[in-house]
Structure 1
Amino acid sequence: MKVLLYFEGEKILAKSGIGRALDHQKRALSEVGIEYTLDADCTDYDILHINTYGINSHSMVNKAKKMGKKVIYHAHSTEEDFRNSFIGSNQISPLVKKYLVGLYSKADYLITPTPYSKDLLEGYGITVPIVSISNGIDLGRFKQSDEKEQKFKEYFNIKNNQKVIICVGLYFERKGIIDFVELARKFPEYRFIWFGHTPMYSIPKAIRTIVKEEHPENVEFPGYIKGDIIEGGYSAADLFFFPSYEETEGIVILEALASKQQVLVRDIPVYKGWLVDKLNCYMGRTNEEFAHLIEELVEKKIPSTCEAGYNVAEEKSIERIGHELKAVYEKVLANEVIEDNEKKHQEN
């Protein structure tokens, strides 16, 4: 079995969760001994496993179909998570949905990160079999390290006993960046650091203004930082606060959980079935609730959920994800997809 992992615009998307998903797929396939290639000109592969939906991706799918290859589409994107992102995203999101449906429907099988995103896609009327498989997490990379934590503290000149709250994400409204800044105003004694970057020309003026000018002194936007500094930040911070309104999974949450960091998220449907309020994380719905929880968690007035959170990350380790991907590949190559479709049709 040989798999062609195709990822359009790899350099552009490398800083996003989708970019990290590709890295995880490469690791996962290596872990279970599946040969893969990233060469788009390769012809001796058995399965095209495609992650993106640009014009070139569309051509790759058509080319694979003409060659009689099996196609697995990794559906990272939905209309819902396209909204409230780039300039004009809300206006064109219905067209994006129509395009995604047409593209995804050409696949033999769809993989999507969570049961929530699977439900969304099925709600679009897509009849291709869909399975939810987490994007996974490299547990070893996010293991607590005194050396990494020291690099983080030195880079940001963090003083002893200074409280630090971090978030990781693109500069999108849907990521909760406005709420992150508003809540920072309520806690001038804490430092709020938002890791991540999005080209300024591509985001609405209101978000550009927040990032460049209109944020309090205790908020920092250091941009995209990888390696020891951010990995040290994940474990050294006092709280990982992720107020996103919409996700298909949220790789950064898995990174925080794998770091045994305390996690606070917005209570949204995507987390149903794997994140549980007060068990492996804390959840809030409004800024008032978040303000209360931030103070309680940072000052350690309520129980930690870090150990239970780490257990969630363990269940989504890259090794486990590799076996799940392998099972889907084998099913597709064995033509069991036809049986799945017939069974689904009978159920309906």
Structure 2
Amino acid sequence: MKVLLYFEGEKILAKSGIGRALDHQKRALSEVGIEYTLDADCTDYDILHINTYGINSHSMVNKAKKLGKKVIYHAHSTEEDFRNSFIGSNQVSPLVKKYLVSLYSKADYLITPTPYSKDLLEGYGITVPIASISNGIDLKRFERSEEKEQKFREYFKIEEKQKVIICVGLYFERKGIIDFVELARRFPDYRFIWFGHTPMYSIPRTIRTIVKEDHPENVLFPGYIKGDIIEGAYSAADLFFFPSYEETEGIVILEALASKQQVLVRDIPVYKGWLEDKVNCYMGKTNEEFSYFIDALIEDKIPNTRQAGYDVAKQKSIERIGHELKSVYEKVLGTAVVEQAECKHQEN
């Protein structure tokens, strides 16, 4: 078995969750001994596992079909998580939905990160079989490291006993960036750091203004940072606050859980079945609720859920994900064998 992992615009999307999903797929396939290639010109593969939906992605699917290859589409994107992102995203989201349905329907199988996103796709009227498989997490990468934590503190000049709240995400309204800044205004003694970057020309003016100037002094937007500093931030911070309104999974949440960080999220449907309020995280719906939880968690007024959160991350380790992907690959190729046998039988 050989798989072609295709990812259009890899450099552009490398800073997003989808970009990290590709890295996880490579690791996962290596863990279970599945050969893969990233060479788009390769033709000796068995399955095209495609992650993106640009023009070249559309061409890759058509090319694979002409070569008689099986196609698995990794449905990271939905109309719902496209909205409230880029300039004009709400206006064109219905067209994006039609385009996604058209592309996804060409596949022999779909993979999507959560049961929630699976339900959305089935609600679109897509009849292709769909498997819900987490994007996974590299547990070893996010093990606590005093060296990494020190690099984080030095980089941001974090003073002793200074309370720090972090978030990681693109500069999108749907990510909850407006609420993040509003909560920071309520806690001027805490430092709020939003990691991530999106080209300013692509986002609405209101969000550009917030990032550039309209935020209190205790809020930092350092941009996209990778490696030891961000990994140190995940474990050294006092709270990971992710007020996103819509996700298909949220790789950054898995990263925080794997770091044994305390997690506070918005109570939205995507977490149903794997995150549980007051068990492995805390959930809020309004800024008033978030305000209460931030104070209560930072000041240790309520029990933390760090260990239970880490247990969730362990269930989504890259090793486990590799076996789940392998199962879908074998199912698709097994279907191909059955279909060929049926065709020969009909010919005879």
Structure 1 length normalisation: TM-score? 0.97
Aligned partners of 1:291 and 1:242: how far apart in 2?
A: 13
User: Retained in 2: the 8 A contact 1:265–1:281?
Assistant: yes
Aligned partners of 1:39 and 1:48: how far apart in 2?
A: 11
Spell out the pairing of 1:248-263 with structure 2 (5 A cutoff): 248-263=248-263
Spell out the pairing of 1:179-328 with structure 2 (5 A cutoff): 179-328=179-328
Aligned partners of 1:337 and 1:290: how far apart in 2?
A: 53
- Where in structure 1 are there 5+ consecutive unaligned residues? 340-348
Partner residue, 1:346: none
Spell out the pairing of 1:1-348 with structure 2 (5 A cutoff): 1-335=1-335
Q: How many residue pairs get matched?
A: 339
User: In the TM superposition, what whole-angstrom CA distance separates every residue of 1:209-238 from its partner, at most 9, and x where no partner exists?
Assistant: 000010000000000000000000000000
Aligned partners of 1:189 and 1:244: how far apart in 2?
A: 23
User: Retained in 2: the 8 A contact 1:31–1:319?
Assistant: yes
- Where in structure 2 are there 5+ consecutive unaligned residues? 340-348
Query: Over the residues paired in the alignment, what is the CA RMSD in angstroms?
Result: 1.0
Residue 338 of structure 1 and its aligned partner are, at CA, apart by 8.1
User: In the TM superposition, what whole-angstrom CA distance separates every residue of 1:171-226 from its partner, at most 9, and x where no partner exists?
Assistant: 00000000000000000000000000000000000000000010000000000000
Aligned partners of 2:188 and 2:225: how far apart in 1?
A: 24
Which amino acid is 2:240 matched to? Answer: F
User: Retained in 2: the 8 A contact 1:109–1:337?
Assistant: no
Which amino acid is 2:272 matched to? Answer: K
User: In the TM superposition, what whole-angstrom CA distance separates every residue of 1:276-332 from its partner, at most 9, and x where no partner exists?
Assistant: 000000000000000000000011110010000000000000000000000000000
Aligned partners of 2:338 and 2:184: how far apart in 1?
A: 53
Aligned partners of 2:338 and 2:328: how far apart in 1?
A: 13
Residue 43 of structure 1 and its aligned partner are, at CA, apart by 0.3
User: Retained in 2: the 8 A contact 1:129–1:337?
Assistant: no
Aligned partners of 1:300 and 1:230: how far apart in 2?
A: 24
Moved over 4 A (4+): 336-339
Aligned partners of 2:230 and 2:157: how far apart in 1?
A: 14
Which amino acid is 2:189 matched to? Answer: E
Describe the SS at the equivalent of 1:301. coil
Describe the SS at the equivalent of 1:300. coil
> Do the aligned partners of residues 29 and 288 (structure 1) sit closer, same or farther apart at CA in structure 2, a change above 3 Å counting?
same
Describe the SS at the equivalent of 2:247. coil
Partner residue, 1:342: none
Which amino acid is 1:108 matched to? Answer: D
Aligned-pair identity in percent equals 88
Structure 2 length normalisation: TM-score? 0.97
User: Retained in 2: the 8 A contact 1:331–1:337?
Assistant: no
> Which stretch of structure 1 is more off in the superposition, 327-336 or 99-108?
327-336
User: In the TM superposition, what whole-angstrom CA distance separates every residue of 1:107-156 from its partner, at most 9, and x where no partner exists?
Assistant: 00000000000000000000000010000000000000000000000000
Residue 336 of structure 1 and its aligned partner are, at CA, apart by 7.0
